[in-house]
Structure formats: structure tokens, C-alpha cells
Amino acid sequence: MLHEIDILEARRIAELAASAREARDQALAPVPEAELGEPTPARGQHHPAGALGFGAMPADLPASQALRGAVENLPADLRRKLWATMRIGSGDYARGDWDEALAAAANLSDAAMISDLAEEIDLHDKLMKGLYALGAAEPWSPPA
């Protein structure tokens, strides 16, 4: 499973992901929904640009660059653990499926894994949920 250093790195990446998400949301805030051509959601308030992920952002956005750089600079084994933690946090694997999630990560190329991690708009949430599921963090819920 995860060792203390792995947990600290996962939290660091999660914080970088939260900063990148915040920067992305601020950049998209002035875009009127009408310009995106999306229908009004049936329930709740949703910004239609939410599905665009980080792909809608300029590549030179400092927060996105910091996140991608941090993910790229991780050792390959830690990147696999991070990917497995993210997938557990997204509900694709259960806590008991850790070895299966790591095996799936081992089947990915480095480029695919880096893209999966660095371009996941909800990376912070998924990592924190994964860490909680693995018993390495307190319960987490999105801010109100």
C-alpha cells in the first residue's frame, strides 16, 4: 500500500491539482454560458465548461504547468501508486483491489499515465477520496 512519503506526495499533488482547478475556474468564470452553446442543466447549477477539463486552458497557465511538472517528475513507481489512488477515489477500484489497480497502472505507458493524472479536472477530489478509502486521510467532502 502507501507509505508515509507516498501519502505526503499524494497530498502535495492534490494541492497542486486544487490550485490548477481554481485557476481554471477563475479563467472560465467570465465566459457566459450562452456562448458555450450548452442547454441549461436539469438539476442544480453546473457550468457547462466543467466537462472541458484542463484541455480548455492555455498550456502556459502556471498552475497547470506546476501540476504537470510535478507529476512528470515523480518516480514511475510513485506515479503508478498515485494513479491507483486516483482510480480508487473515483470508484473504479475498491480498497481491496489495490494490487489490481497497480497492475492496471503498470499496463499504461508513462505518457498515458501522466496525461490521466495531469489532465484530470477532479484530481484533488479523487486523490483525497482515494487516500481516505485507503485509510490514509480523514474523510473529505467538497467545499459547500
When pLDDT is cut at 50, 70 and 90, the band that residue 52 belongs to is: low
Give me the helices (H) in the chain, please: 4-28, 33-36, 62-72, 76-89, 98-106, 110-118, 123-133
User: What would the pLDDT profile of 69-104 be if each residue is shown by its tens digit?
Assistant: 999 999 999 999 999 999 999 999 998 999 999 999
Cβ contact 140:132 at 8 Å: yes
The burial class, CB within 10 Å (0-12 / 13-18 / 19+), for 58 is exposed
- The model's pLDDT over 2-43, given as tens digits with 9 standing for 90+, comes to 787 888 899 999 999 988 888 877 776 665 555 555 555 555
Residue type, 35: E
Q: Is the pTM of this model over 0.85?
A: no
